[in-house]
């Protein structure tokens, strides 16, 4: 059996971006920016007041000094004149600073009587000015490739970028296989269960900028699998779930190969996820996930998401590894790398992690409680509480 690293390399081999498109920023969150976005003006474009108060010359500011208020500037309403010695301008947050001023005295520090203000004795010493371009300069560039977050969208808007160039969304065909499966909301026989992992995988794919199409549940027969592959081949990535192991009804690998799958590998030294397979089917990337719900989801994080990220044009595609301190002992690991469902917590002592007692790959309740996977290498020795371990955040 090959290792997880080797399998990831094989899954990613030959994958690339599918094309680009221009989209309005309202549709760009979660997409991958492919062309760097450029600002055309600085932000703020003028020195701006950051408080409500009075703009004055800083040199003139002393407790109990009086100024004559000569006008007003509000956000979107600049005041064009120049403030002279002994004068102040009423100013509001976001307004351009007028000529002749370099400080805002907040209104809480002022007593006003008609057109005259008198500064209080105790003065806040801040100047309350946001200089031109303090957020970004006129030639600012948001680099690519980059998975656009909601914060990026706000930044792009501030840069006056109404549309951006992103990669085309990879379209993923999700195929659940098995005579025992019924769709949620269906009417299962006593010997049937509900198809679950395709929905988790769809959510995972769509959370990461892909588009997932759940195909009809496919029976454990050669004809049914053939018919589904014929539809699925239109997608950019074909993913099967189940039927991957060695049982009499585990036909996916065999039928996929008859259909034209050029298999790159089958079976990896990993728990959960041993019967994973990958390759290309008529030039389309193919990933065969194990049926156990947790195995399918864990393999989704470790293999499917990296493939999706690469097809989206991202440079950083593998899961981020974070270190955390184990809060309890762990027994030695065996011949397969173990991705243990765990809970990570930020504490005053740093990041701490605890593995769940139950690690059966059928337990979605445990996966739902987990926010991390502890990565146990092949043949890892027993670990004591306090050991630093590597983990993947879910």
Ligand X SMILES: Nc1nc2c(c(=O)[nH]1)N[C@H]1C(S)=C(S)[C@@H](COP(=O)(O)OP(=O)(O)OC[C@H]3O[C@@H](n4cnc5c(N)ncnc54)[C@H](O)[C@@H]3O)O[C@H]1N2
Instruction: Provide, rounded to whole angstroms, the least separation between the CB of residue 241 and ligand X.
Output: 5
Residues between 198 and 217 with contacts to ligand X, criterion CB under 6 A: 198
Q: Which stretch binds ligand X (CB under 6 A): 15-23, 148-156, 194-202, 383-391?
A: 194-202
Q: Which residue has the tokens 């595609």?
A: 317
273 contributes a contact to ligand MOO by CB under 6 A? yes
Give the C-alpha separation, 17 to 313, whole Å: 5
Distance of CA 120 to the CA centre of its chain: 49
Instruction: Provide, rounded to whole angstroms, the least separation between the CB of residue 245 and ligand X.
Output: 3
Shortest-Cβ-distance residue relative to ligand X: 291
Q: Give the residue from 223, 231, 208 showing the smallest Cα distance to 300.
A: 208
- Exactly one of 218, 240, 361, 391 binds ligand MOO (CB under 6 A); that residue is 361
Residues between 285 and 344 with contacts to ligand MOO, criterion CB under 6 A: 290, 292, 295
Rounded alpha-carbon distances, angstroms, from residue 183 to 186, 212, 228, 252, 292: 5, 16, 16, 20, 16
278 contributes a contact to ligand X by CB under 6 A? no
Give the C-alpha separation, 290 to 278, whole Å: 11
Instruction: Provide, rounded to whole angstroms, the least separation between the CB of residue 193 and ligand X.
Output: 5
Q: Which does 250 bind (CB under 5 to 8 A by kind): ligand MOO, ligand X, none?
A: ligand X
If binding means CB under 6 A, how many residues of this protein chain bind ligand X?
Answer: 26
Q: Which does 352 bind (CB under 5 to 8 A by kind): ligand MOO, ligand X, none?
A: none
Residues between 252 and 271 with contacts to ligand MOO, criterion CB under 6 A: 271
Give the C-alpha separation, 54 to 64, whole Å: 14
Give the C-alpha separation, 31 to 71, whole Å: 47
Give the C-alpha separation, 276 to 290, whole Å: 6
- Nearest-10 Cα torsion for 40, 46, 51, 52: -120
Footprint of ligand MOO on this chain (CB under 6 A)? 271-274, 290, 292, 295, 361
Footprint of ligand X on this chain (CB under 6 A)? 176, 178, 180-181, 193, 195-198, 241-247, 250, 272, 274-275, 290-293, 295, 361
């Amino acid at each position: 059996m090959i290792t997880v690293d080797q399998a990831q390399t094989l899954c990613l081999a030959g994958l690339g971006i599918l094309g680009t498109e221009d989209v309005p920023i309202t549709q760009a969150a979660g997409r991958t920016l492919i062309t760097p976005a450029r600002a055309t003006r600085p932000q703020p474009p003028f020195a701006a007041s950051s408080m409500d108060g009075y703009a004055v010359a800083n040199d003139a500011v002393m407790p109990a000094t009086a100024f004559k208020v000569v006008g007003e500037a509000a956000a979107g309403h600049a005041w064009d004149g120049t403030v002279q010695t002994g004068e102040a301008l009423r100013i509001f947050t976001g307004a351009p600073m007028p000529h002749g001023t370099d400080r805002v005295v907040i209104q809480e520090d002022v007593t006003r009587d008609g057109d005259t203000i008198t500064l209080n004795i105790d003065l806040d010493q801040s100047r309350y000015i946001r200089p031109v371009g303090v957020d970004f300069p006129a030639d600012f560039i948001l680099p690519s490739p980059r998975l656009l977050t909601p914060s990026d969208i706000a930044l792009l808007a501030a840069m006056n970028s109404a549309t951006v160039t992103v990669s085309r969304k990879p379209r993923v065909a999700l195929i659940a296989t098995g005579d025992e499966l019924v769709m949620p909301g269906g009417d299962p026989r006593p010997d049937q269960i509900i198809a679950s992992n395709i929905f988790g995988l769809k959510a995972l794919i769509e959370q990461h900028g892909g588009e997932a199409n759940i195909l009809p549940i496919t029976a454990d027969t050669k004809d049914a699998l053939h018919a589904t592959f014929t539809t699925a081949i239109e997608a950019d990535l074909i993913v099967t779930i189940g039927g991957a192991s060695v049982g009499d009804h585990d036909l996916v690998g065999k039928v996929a190969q008859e259909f034209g799958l050029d298999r790159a590998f089958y079976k990896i030294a990993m728990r959960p996820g041993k019967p994973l397979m990958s390759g290309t089917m008529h030039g389309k990337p193919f990933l065969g996930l194990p049926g156990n719900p947790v195995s399918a989801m864990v393999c989704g994080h470790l293999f499917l998401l990296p493939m999706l990220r690469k097809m989206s044009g991202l440079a950083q595609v593998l899961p981020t590894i974070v270190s955390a301190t184990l809060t309890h002992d762990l027994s030695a690991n065996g011949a397969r790398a173990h991705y243990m469902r765990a809970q990570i917590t930020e504490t005053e002592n740093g990041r701490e992690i605890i593995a769940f007692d139950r690690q059966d790959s059928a337990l979605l309740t445990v996966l739902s409680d987990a926010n991390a996977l502890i990565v146990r290498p092949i043949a890892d020795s027993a670990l004591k509480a306090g050991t630093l371990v590597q983990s993947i955040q879910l």
